Structure 1
Amino acid sequence: MESKMSDTKSSSISVIPVDMNNFSSTLQLTENEPSRVKPPEDYNPFENRIVEHPNSDTGSLVHLLKCSLGTGILAMPHAFRNAGLVFGTVVTVLVGLVCTHCIHILVRSSQILCLREKVPVLTFSETAEVAFKSGPHQLKKLAEVFKQFVNLALCATCYSTSCVYIVFVATSIKQVTDHYYQAGTADDEKINIRLYILMIFPFVCALGLIRNLKYLVPVSAIANLLMGVGFTITFYYIFTDVPSPTQRDYIASPGLIPMFFCTVIFAMEGIGVVMPLENSMKNPGHFLGCPGVLNAGMFVVVTLYAIIGFFGYLKYGESTNASVTLNLPSEHVMAQVVKILIAAAILLTYGLQYFIATDITWPMLEKRVDKRWSSTLQNVYRILTVAITVCVAIAVPNLGPIISLVGAVCYSTLGLLCPVVIDLVTNWEGGLGTWYWVLWKDSFILLFWLAALLTGTYTSVLDIITMYS
């Protein structure tokens, strides 16, 4: 495909080196500076990338697994409760295939656009912008709009996930403290979960004030260690004394299915970290393909999610909670340790989610601020946005509906809608295949996104209203 952007534009782009230890979610492309690498006629973007500390294929696979195997896996048994054993297993695999394909078309579109525009690297939002600029003429004026839409979706996803983390931590702490200090007390006389959320505010505020990603590295390392230990003990409980599958529903009530879809999308979508990961690889061409880093990683992710969802629901049945750790027996010391370990891990992970979103939003505001007050106002901004996530958590302190709502609105938009639109615009002129099969395929995914958005949002909001009415 021929470039629709001028050669002058291409030659005026300089690239900031990529470093996974200190990457920015909004990798900058600056104009009116000399290019560090002059694109040759047979331009290869992979050969022109300047990566200070490139990741091997194995390292990239580990990063992908670490980013994908988070708190979502703990919500899978609850998702299966809303789907049934058989339906849940089959559809989890199908949703996993759709999510993997959307990541694939996003990365592939980015690689095509890098080659077309002769730039070494593009981020998620820049891929969206360049796709529209080099796409059909009628869409060129929407380039900046869609770029900001992707940034907005990414910010909304990260901030809303932060709200989920706060509710999860507060719920876990409340369950442990209720056992020790308020055993036998009526539920309406126990300390309200909203007070626990307020107690967490100083800790998340401190994490939110961290401005440099490198200072979050040891925090993330500790979180990973705590999470690993907590997961191991949780899985021991899940796979001990498992009842017969005949005691569980194979297919759940149709009214619960939307909640299942949204929870699975919430659990599986790690698309926000994919572009920085692919951009930092030593051999970016190995990310896609067969087997490829993406396919190998998502195979492990989907398999584990299906297994944990199946056996978690099989073990706890209709009493399965929004996080399976909340089903662990409170009278067992080991179970209490697990709840505290995973709560601490999720609390420490808050900083990374918050960093990604703030790294996008603050630079937009900083341009309008006097440099003398920039540092002070940034601290004020960070405290205010952290306070907003805490207020949202206080407003809806229930994990089940909030996970489904975040999955329906944020994760489905970022992980399904945005990649498909980018794919269509990138391939619109001559790349839609025989009988326009790419158009038909992407249209199906758009319908799936719309169904998840509408039904998931309606069901989740209805659940919240019913719960607090």
Structure 2
Amino acid sequence: MNAEADTHQNSQSKTKDTNGHSVVSSDGDYDPHLHRNVQNPTTTLQTFAHFLKASIGSGVLAMPSAFANAGYITGPILTLTIGCIAVHCLHILINSMYELCKRKRVPYLTFSEAMTIGLHEGPPIFKCVLPIATPLVDGFLAFYHFGVCCVYVVFIAESIKQIVDEYLVVLDIRLHMCFILIPLFLLFSIRTLKTLAPFSTFANLLLFVGFGIVLYYIFATLPPISTRQPFQVVSRLPIFFGTVLFAIEAVGVILAIEGKMEKPKSYIKPFGVLNVGMAIVLSLYILLGFFGYWEYGDDALGSVTLNIPQQAILAQVAKIIFAITTWITYALQGYVTADIIWNKYLSKRTKDTSKHVLYELLIRGGIVLLTFCFAVAIPDLSVFLSLVGSFCLSILGLILPALLQICVQYGLGYGVWKLKLVKNVFLIAFGIFGGIIGSYVSIVQIIESYNT
């Protein structure tokens, strides 16, 4: 557990909640939310802005391509299904972490800390993975959000390249990646979510303008719906699964922004940040995916901005908008990787606290450089989206939350007919199946793209 958790573990005296009010707790009524002491907490509106920006990244622009692998009937149904499953898994993850905080009388636990404690208190069969639980979860979280940042580097550079090619000079995309290194680092050097909040709000406003422009081009020349497939062959669904899961899920950011909230109770209320935010996200994804596939069919590319007219001024404005919003999302997604690497592992090894800011900035600079290096090797944006989504998010967004609830409920029972156990076993099986099949198909397509 982190230092903050250790400080509060045995406390039964008066403490202060996030609003500065004195709170007296006892063993039976300890409320972790009231004992959080967060530096620079975010308001509910700021958290909502972060949630929308983290969940609506470049992945949403791949939805028409995803629907091309599912069909215009199967696509919306499966997107809604995957979205509901993802939201449910986030709820059980956050609620399980909250329950473990109450048991251990700590104000907050990270995902990896909660998994370690849960496995310790869960069925004995899981104790064999205890030694690697923390680094495994942290590793997957850091790697996934690092992978997202790699995709974003490609997307931003590709958007800029299209505009520069049209009006100035044709350059290799790798040169455009070099040009955006400094802007990426400048924004990534912002180390707190509260400071990033105005950027997220601004990006969300730009997003809706960009969506409006894209939908304008889509609606302008819709062909007969009969020219599109309502269903697709089953072999194409794994790519759809991976792309949609990548687009919807941002587990690390979703947990990070909840942990920095001034009023965390409002996060998982029935009409709280998580449910309302995801309803908006799913609506946008289905809208763009359905009509984008209707317009472009199997010609839908990894980003719908590649399909709209390349010479039109309005289309170029949309590309600039999405490049800016993705640049801002890069800082949000990368926040998780930087937070894990620096705050959880490296900062403890640096005794001279006066140099912490400098070292953290160097770490962040190193992350930016690494995302650039990996980005130049990505052959195809859409299949890489699917690979990252299938592999990492099946584990982080489906398997581990279900496993954690199994462990948390182990001593309490699983209810009538053990329905909670059955449900979570189904979620684990679904995550394993989707992850393996989606990853295999994505890797095959990446290999094929290298060989062509």
The aligned residue for residue 233 of structure 2 is 253
CA distance in 2, matches of 1:295, 1:218: 22
Instruction: Give the C-alpha shift of residue 162 in structure 1.
Output: 0.4
Select which of 414, 420, 437 maps to 1:432: 414
In structure 1, list runs of 5 or more residues that go unmatched: 1-6, 20-35, 183-189
User: 1:345 and 2:325 equivalent?
Assistant: yes
- Give me the whole-angstrom Cα distance separating, in 2, the residues matched to 1:181 and 1:197: 17
1:45 aligns with 2:23: no
- Tell me how far 1:56 sits from its aligned partner: 7.0
Q: Look up the match of 1:415.
A: 397
Match of 1:462 in 2: 444
Q: Which residue of 1 aligns with 2:3?
A: none
Equivalent residue number for residue 185 of structure 2: 205
Q: Distance in 2 between matches of 1:82 and 1:404?
A: 12
Report Cα offsets for 1:98-152 as digits up to 9, x if no partner.
1011011112212222232233333323322332343345656755632332221
Distance in 2 (CA, whole Å) between partners of 1:325 and 1:78 is 11
Q: Distance in 1 between matches of 2:185 and 2:49?
A: 29
By how many angstroms is 1:443 displaced?
1.6
The CA deviation at 1:349 is 2.6
Q: Which residue of 2 aligns with 1:100?
A: 87
Q: Is the 8 A contact 1:75 1:323 kept in 2?
A: yes
Relative to the length of structure 1, the TM-score reads 0.83
Q: TM-score, normalised by structure 2?
A: 0.86
Question: Which residue in the other structure is 2:138 paired with?
Answer: 151
> Could you say which residue in structure 2 is the equivalent of 1:196?
176
Pick closer, same or farther for the CA change 1:155–1:84 going to 2, 3 Å.
Answer: same
Deviation at 1:429, TM superposition (A): 2.4
Distance (Å, rounded) in 2 between the aligned partners of 1:261 and 1:13: 47
**Contact conserved, 1:99 with 1:269, CA < 8 A, in 2?**
yes
| Native 8 Å contact 2:300 2:307 kept in 1 | yes
Structure 1 distance, partners of 2:76, 2:51, is 22
Structure 1 contact 133–141 (Cα < 8 Å) conserved: no
Would you say the 8 A contact 2:347–2:356 is kept in 1?
yes
Whole-angstrom CA distance in 1 between matches of 2:200 and 2:356: 28
Q: Is the 8 A contact 1:261 1:452 kept in 2?
A: yes
Say if 1:45 and 1:121, in contact at 8 Å, map to a contact too.
Answer: no
Q: What is the alpha-carbon distance in structure 1 between the residues aligned to residue 346 and residue 266 of structure 2? A: 38
Most deviating of 105-114 and 367-376: 367-376
Change in 2 beyond 3 A, CA 1:47/1:365: closer
Q: CA RMSD in A?
A: 3.2
Is the CA contact (8 Å cut-off) linking 1:39 and 1:118 kept in structure 2? no
Question: What does the per-residue CA deviation read over 1:11-62, in whole Å, with 9 as the maximum and x for residues that have no partner?
Answer: 069999879xxxxxxxxxxxxxxxx966314314156334678777666555
Q: Distance in 2 between matches of 1:441 and 1:351?
A: 35
> What does the per-residue CA deviation read over 1:218-274, in whole Å, with 9 as the maximum and x for residues that have no partner?
444443343332222222222333222111011123332111000000011133233
Change in Cα spacing, 1:254 to 1:142, as seen in structure 2 (3 Å) is closer
Change (3 A) 1:362 1:47: closer
Q: Does 1:115 align with 2:95?
A: no
Deviates more, 1:433-442 or 1:402-411: 433-442
In 2, distance between residues paired with 1:302 and 1:71?
A: 14
Q: Which amino acid aligns with 2:161?
A: K
The one of 295, 301, 313 equivalent to 1:333 is: 313
Judge which range, 291-300 or 265-274, deviates more.
291-300
Which residue in 2 is equivalent to 1:33? none
**Structure 2, unaligned runs of 5 or more:** 1-5
| Aligned partners of 1:207 and 1:351 also within 8 Å | yes
Query: Counterpart of 2:56?
Result: 69
Correspondence 1:285-324 to 2 at 5 A: 285=265, 287-288=267-268, 290-324=270-304
Q: Could you say which residue in structure 1 is the equivalent of 2:348?
A: 367
Alpha-carbon distance in 2 for matches of 1:13, 1:253: 60
Give yes or no for contact 1:128–1:422 (8 Å, CA) kept in 2: yes
Once the two structures are aligned, what percentage of the paired residues are identical?
A: 38
Q: Structure 1 pair 377/109, CA: closer, same or farther in 2 (3 Å)? A: closer
2:381 match? 399
> In the alignment, is residue 447 of structure 1 matched against residue 433 of structure 2?
no
Shift of 1:299: 2.6
How far 1:216 sits from its partner (Å)?
3.4
Distance 1:112 1:378, change over 3 A: closer
Write the distance in 2 (CA, Å) between the matches of 1:383 and 1:56.
Answer: 28
Distance of 1:119 and 1:374 partners within structure 2: 26
Letter in 2 for 1:367: K
Given that 2:115 and 2:133 are in contact with CA atoms closer than 8 Å, whether structure 1 keeps it comes out as yes
Q: In the superposition, relative to structure 1, how do residues 336 and 9 fare at CA in structure 2: closer, same or farther (>3 Å)?
A: closer
Q: Aligned partners of 1:16 and 1:171: how far apart in 2?
A: 49
Which of 201, 210, 213 aligns to 1:233? It is 213
Q: Displacement of 1:311 after TM fit? A: 0.7
Alignment partner, residue 335 of structure 2: 355
Query: Structure 1 pair 412/18, CA: closer, same or farther in 2 (3 Å)?
Result: farther
Separation in structure 2 between the aligned mates of residue 375 and residue 50 of structure 1, nearest angstrom? 24
Check conservation: 1:81, 1:318, Cα contact below 8 A: yes
Q: Structure 1 pair 87/237, CA: closer, same or farther in 2 (3 Å)? A: same
CA contact (8 A) 2:92 2:405 kept: yes
For the Cα contact (< 8 Å) 1:193–1:397, is it kept in 2? no
Are the equivalent residues in 1 in contact too, given 2:239–2:386 (CA < 8 A)? Answer: yes
- How far does the alpha carbon of each residue in 1:371-404 deviate from its partner, in whole angstroms, 9 at most, with x for none? 3876655444333322111111001142111111
Deviates more, 1:293-302 or 1:314-323: 293-302
Alignment size in residue pairs: 440
